[in-house]
Amino acid sequence: MSRVCELSGKGPMTGNNVSHAKNRTRRRFLPNLNDQSLMSEVLGRTFKLRISAAALRTVDHRGGLDAFMAKAKDSELSEKALKIKKDIIKAQASA
């Protein structure tokens, strides 16, 4: 399972551990990923996604999954999230 957020595209970053003696060793900073079920009000169903805590706060701030997907960039979304976005847009157009 990859360590990439399905909504924001946030992934591992690299950097250094720096000791008191200024010795530097490489390390990875991993995103805070959580398995979440998000409800789409337009489609009337839930979707299980692996998203970062920051993306979850953004979804809440924008007013839910449907509003988040309306503003989300396609380049940041995973294949699964792109399919969800397409279904939401199609459902909103027909309603």
Kindly report the pTM of this predicted structure: 0.89
Q: Is 3 domain-assigned?
A: no
- The Cα–Cα gap between 27 and 35 comes to 24
Q: Is 2 domain-assigned?
A: no
Number of domains into which the chain is organized: 1
Q: Is 75 domain-assigned?
A: yes
- The two structure tokens encoding residue 55: 């993306």
- What residues in the chain have per-residue pLDDT under 50? none
The CATH number of whichever domain residue 37 belongs to comes to: 2.30.170.40
The pLDDT of residue 14 is: 98
The pLDDT of residue 20 is: 98
10 Å CB burial of residue 57 (0-12, 13-18, 19+) is exposed
Q: Is 42 domain-assigned?
A: yes
CB proximity list for 39: less than 8 A, separation 6 or greater: 45, 46, 64, 65
Give residue 55's domain range.
13-94
The pLDDT of residue 6 is: 97
The pLDDT of residue 2 is: 87
Q: Is 55 domain-assigned?
A: yes
Q: Are 25 and 70 in contact (CB under 8 A)?
A: no
